[in-house]
Amino acid sequence: MKIPFYKMSGSGNDFIIIDNREGILEGMDLPQWVKKVCRRRLSVGADGLILVQNSPKADFQWRYFNADGTEAEMCGNGGRCVARFAYLTDISGRSLSFDTLCGVMEAEVVGERAKLRMGNPSDLRLDYPISIDGSEYIVSSINTGVPHVVQIVEDVDHYEVSRFGRAIRFHPLYRPDGTNANFIEVRDVHTIHIRTYERGVEDETLACGTGAVASALIGASKGLASSPISVHPKSGEVLTVYFEKQGSGFTDIFLEGDARVIYEGQLWEEAYGD
């Protein structure tokens, strides 16, 4: 069986997107199947895989899987890509909604870009210590659909992201589910540079949408940044985060950036078979 798919990239995060409204993947062991398809060099390869399914309360429902086959609640860059996919394939109009494990999300497609309304964050915690390899580091954390830890560093371009990112991701403080780890350098009140170690990919990625939002909101909470914030990930494809700050909380949070189509094709069984 050949399975149609799109390969898309949102600011450097790449995704396989499949229209599953007719149940073409019925009977598959999805976690294992996703893990095989997301292998680089042995299959299509991607940071994650998105299934578009029918929904009684939105234009469609999505299921988002990390590259390791685990299912996640939210992915900002994936959300922007699936919005443009739905528009290009006539599943929705330019303004649309889709159902997720975090609730119904709204998005708007403009050209090759998409703007996603994010849910209100939770679990904001500022400036607390964690111990890594016998040394103490000050971090902050917030949940922007998935959990994120943010550490402000002096030189993000030369920081040991893989080492410290993995240590934070698996730190006992964040068990059992773990967390994503972001390392940021605030250049000015409207500019943040970021590198992210992503849970589920288990490595540094070129960008992370929910991580960009987390970093912007923590920067604002600490009085270091204000909306709109240009977030520069490792890919160089800039994301823009908009929000309204109300006391210690936030509303009207949006994530905007490119959502480009790389190619469309068909998965042969050789791509996911044993």
What is the C-alpha end-to-end distance of the chain, expressed in Å?
14
Is residue 102 flagged as an active site residue? no
At 42, list the tokens. Answer: 């042995």
> What is the CB neighbour count within 10 angstroms for residue 181?
30
Q: Nearest Cα to 214, choosing from 188, 247, 239? A: 239
φ and ψ at residue 269, rounded to 5 degrees: -60, -25
Backbone angles phi, psi at 221, to 5 degrees: -65, -30
State both tokens at 23: 């149940």
- Say whether the peptide bond before residue 129 is cis (omega within 30 degrees of 0): no
Tell me, yes or no, if 208 is annotated catalytic: yes
Instruction: Tell me how crowded residue 256 is: count the other CB atoms within 10 A of its CB.
Output: 21
196, 208 contact by CB (below 8 A) = yes
Only one residue has tokens 């160089």, namely 236
Give the total residue count for the chain: 274
Active-site positions? 75, 208
